[in-house]
Amino acid sequence: MFDRVAFVTGSSRGIGRAIALTLSREGFFIVVASPEVENNERVAGEIRAGGGQAMTLNLDISSLDSIKEGFGQTLKDKGRIDILVNNAGITRDGLAVRMKPADWDLVLNINLHGAFHAVQQVLPGMMRNRWGRIINIASVVGQAGSPGQANYAASKAGLIGLTKALAQEVASRGITVNAVAPGYIATDMTKVLPEEVKAKILAAVPLGRMGQPDDIAAAVKFLASEDASYITGQVLAVNGGMYM
């Protein structure tokens, strides 16, 4: 048990926390990585309280230096990273005509560039071991678009393209690369939406409810398992039917 190491970015709360806890229950050693140091420790404590094992990292996914340091420390301590979940993401919404360059750059840097740099850190070891799982958390917005979210939509659509290209590059080494595209999930990111916006979104969800972080974690658990060993380059939509 705990032979395999799962590195989950943005795992201090929300979807990332749910993924970390779920993978821990499957017997993976968890690297809880985000810039929220206190929350990292809280999640790691939950994992240990449930009988799992974890370490924490103060990781700024927008900084290449921080990425290299964090992944390097994990490889030094654990010797391997078997599963990478690129979950870290932010929004900086605004109409494209008025969007500040800084808001465009920040969202792309964290949501897309950071994920790519993280992939580069884990691929050499996965290729040597001839086994690996890379799971990118995309979004329904990257598939269907969303007004006022040009930066977020572009970053998540880019993540889907990255998933498909990587899957073709590394399949011969026993590495699968897939994406999970959440729909409207109850997290801190969606909690701040105005009530009229929430109602409009829910009206477009055939299942008639918001998803929960555990819904996304269940999809990640499947893609990380041996049951998904013949699945790569795919986007698993977990959206209640709001985009088909």
User: Residues with catalytic annotation?
Assistant: 152
User: What is the 3 state secondary structure string of the chain?
Assistant: CCCCEEEEECCCCHHHHHHHHHHHHCCCEEEEEECCHHHHHHHHHHHHHCCCCEEEEECCCCCHHHHHHHHHHHHHHHCCCCEEEECCCCCCCECHHHCCHHHHHHHHHHHHHHHHHHHHHHHHHHHHHCCEEEEEECCHHHHHCCCCEHHHHHHHHHHHHHHHHHHHHHHHHCEEEEEEEECCECCHHHHCCCHHHHHHHHHCCCCCCCECHHHHHHHHHHHHCHHHCCCCCCEEEECCCCCC
